Amino acid sequence: MALLEVENISVTFGGVPALRNVSLAVAEHEAVAVLGANGAGKTTLLRAVMGRVPLASGRIILDGTAIEALRTRLRVASGLSLCPEGRQVFPSMSVQDNLLLGAYLAPGAEAARRLDAIYEKLPVLRARRRELAGSFSGGEQQLVAVGRALMARPRVLLMDEPSSGLSPVAITTIRTILRDVADSGTAILLVEQNVQLAVTLTERCYVLNRGVVDAAGSTAELTQDPVLADTYLGGRATG
């Protein structure tokens, strides 16, 4: 049985369909990608899983329990965490305060333990924990955003376009961190337009097009399919 199951969910905005009968699954310890062009519905999908947009229909099941009726904070408590597109750090707050927001549901002592664990994983954040997050580069802010999402101790980490706006060096750093997260046992649902990043991090993927899943299967194979790649993915993965 999958750890996270999305069953035939639909989302509409003002009567216009954004997602139509989308289904996907993420197994425990698995990293899965959702690929597609801008406007395909990828971010809406993640927001629907987190309860930030209402479903018109369908179910969301986490470890065998339906969670589509739960508020976002209860979904976080159940084991979901989202690292949003554009990082969305609080620029006038310190790095440490940004990180602690990710553990707002945890008691103080537990939050402190989680913070120490993040600093072990991302030592650059410990060294600069008193600095304002707004003074960081885009790549450095993405480290803060990933660390904040991990502070919730998720069973499934939802990543929305983690490579967006980053330099090649920063993307390499994020890839290494996410590979470590996956290897440590946290399942990942990755939304990306960077096909090469998806190929190196995931074995399975879903291709979303105008709110509909058009294909599903091996990430390596689907991203090399010339029709899918040219139509939806901006070309085949190379390198």
Q: Which pLDDT tens digit goes with each residue over 96-120?
A: 999 999 999 999 899 999 999 999 9
Mean per-residue pLDDT for 25-37? 95
Q: What is the mean pLDDT of residues 37-52?
A: 95
Question: What's the confidence (pLDDT) of residue 232?
Answer: 64
Secondary structure (3-state) at 129: coil
Tokens standing for residue 190? 């990755």
Percent of the chain with pLDDT strictly greater than 70: 96
Which pLDDT does position 239 carry in this prediction?
Answer: 46
Structure confidence at residue 193 (pLDDT)? 86
Q: Which residue has the tokens 């969670």?
A: 67
- Kindly report the average pLDDT of the chain as a whole number: 93
Mean pLDDT value of segment 70-81: 97
Cα–Cα–Cα angle for 29, 38, 152, rounded to 5 degrees: 35
pLDDT band at 234 (very low <50, low <70, confident <90, very high): low
* Percent of the chain residues past pLDDT 90, beyond the cut: 85
Q: In what order do the strands lie in the sheet with 65-66?
A: 16-26, 4-13, 57-62, 65-66
Q: Give the C-alpha separation, 34 to 216, whole Å.
A: 9
Sketch out the chain's domains with CATH numbers.
Answer: 4-232 (3.40.50.300)
Burial of 133 per CB tally in 10 Å (0-12, 13-18, 19+): buried
Instruction: Give the predicted TM-score (pTM) of the model.
Output: 0.93
**238 confidence band (pLDDT: 50, 70, 90):** low
Per-residue pLDDT at 20: 97
Q: In the 3-class helix/strand/coil scheme, how is 67-126 assigned residue by residue? A: CCCCCHHHHHHHCEEEECCCCCCCCCCEHHHHHHHCCCCCCHHHHHHHHHHHHHHCHHHH
How far apart (Å, rounded) are the C-alpha atoms in residues 14 and 10? Answer: 13
Q: At what angle do helices 168-183 and 138-150 cross, to 10 degrees?
A: 10
pLDDT at residue 236, rounded to an integer: 57
- Average pLDDT rounded to a whole number, residues 176-193: 94
Helices (H), the chain: 42-50, 72-78, 95-101, 108-121, 123-127, 138-150, 168-183, 195-201, 219-222, 226-232
Residue 182 has pLDDT above 70, yes or no: yes
When pLDDT is cut at 50, 70 and 90, the band that residue 37 belongs to is: confident
Say which residue, 12 or 231, is predicted with more confidence. 12
